[in-house]
Amino acid sequence: MVASMRSYGAWAPGIERDRMGIPYYHVDAFTGELFAGNPAGVCILPAFLADDILLKIAVENRHSNTAYVVARADGDFDLRWFTRKLEDDLCGHATLASAFVLALRKQADWPVRFHTRSGVLTVAQDGEHFVMDFPAMPARACETPVGLLPALGLEAALVMKSREYLVVVERAEQVRALSPDFVALAKLDIGTSGALVTAPGEGDVDYVCRFFAPAIGIDEDPATGSIHCILAPYWAGRLGKDSFRAQQLSARGGSMRSAIAGDRVKIAGRARLYLQGTLEI
């Protein structure tokens, strides 16, 4: 498997040419700047390859998620996401990156409709922002899993459960200063759920967050879309409003907007293209 960039020109001696060339894009999502936000790989395919090949590509890419996009006869698109360990059932930043790539290729009517494991997800354009329509996933009271707070480096916090465990602390600085024990987190008896830590924001930011999911191959996700399906309903109940500005306080950082829309959540962010080329499979 060889990745070739357009600027390389001629093929190296000995490389066979009878391989499938897959258009490939590396996009930084939830940022307006390069080297920030969350990198996602986007592959444009005529049809899905075997699952083991899709997983191998994701491992080779080394991103938290790689997206695979296939055009449908009805004008919509099929979309799948793979981490370096498994097929994901919902991924925000790689969905945003996929919509960005379709806009770049002028390949879609807007809003674009993606058929996924989580149903049909639409993405609209709003200036430089791409606005995703995802299902709301309110968190509920739960027992705190044994070892969760120590693994995060916390002594006390409110813990709730949705698709992920929602851990609420008092100050943004607590979120920023977290230094989790990823080995301990990966060993917790919480299945494939990750740990989402949040606190009130500062200035014009309504809330901040960080997200850790070592059990699925993501120690810390730099900028995550799907967690706002949980965060927006929580902060709507707490702040008494329905639209928010959020920041993810990872080393790369990420900025997004979220809003409640009935039983859905609108999640908006920008993206930047870092690389485009061809995967030779």
Write the DSSP assignment of 50-93 as a string of letters.
-HHHHHHHHHHHTSSEEEEEEE-TTS-EEEEEE-SSSEES--HH
Is 97 within 8 Å of 42 (Cβ atoms)?
yes
Element (H, E) at 104: helix 92-104
Point out which residues pair with 133 in neighbouring strands.
122, 266
Looking only at the bridges linking them, the beta strands covering 271-280 and 158-161 are: unpaired
> For 4-13, 79-88, 128-137, 147-156, which range has the lowest pLDDT when averaged over its residues?
4-13
Domain 140-261, second-level architecture? Roll (3.10)
Query: 2-133+269-280 with 140-261: one CATH topology?
Result: yes
Write out the two tokens for 26.
Answer: 């590396």
Name the residue with tokens 């002594």: 155
pLDDT band at 20 (very low <50, low <70, confident <90, very high): confident
CA–CA–CA angle 266, 270, 274 (5° rounding)? 140
Query: What angle (nearest 5°) sits at the alpha carbon of residue 31, between those of residues 36 and 134?
Result: 125
For the whole prediction, is pTM greater than 0.75?
Answer: yes
For 120-178, how does the pLDDT look when each residue is reduced to its tens digit (9 = 90+)?
Answer: 999 999 999 999 999 999 999 999 999 999 999 999 999 999 999 999 999 999 999 99
Span 183-212, pLDDT tens digits: 999 999 999 999 999 999 999 999 999 999
| From the candidate CATH numbers 3.10.310.10, 2.60.120.10, 3.40.50.10790, 3.40.50.300, the one assigned to the domain spanning 2-133+269-280 | 3.10.310.10
Q: Report domain extents, the chain.
A: 2-133+269-280, 140-261
Instruction: Return d(Cα 210, Cα 139) in angstroms, integer.
Output: 16
Express as a percent the part of the chain with pLDDT over 90: 93
* Percent of the chain surpassing pLDDT 70: 94
CA angle, corner 279, sides to 274 and 281, nearest 5? 165
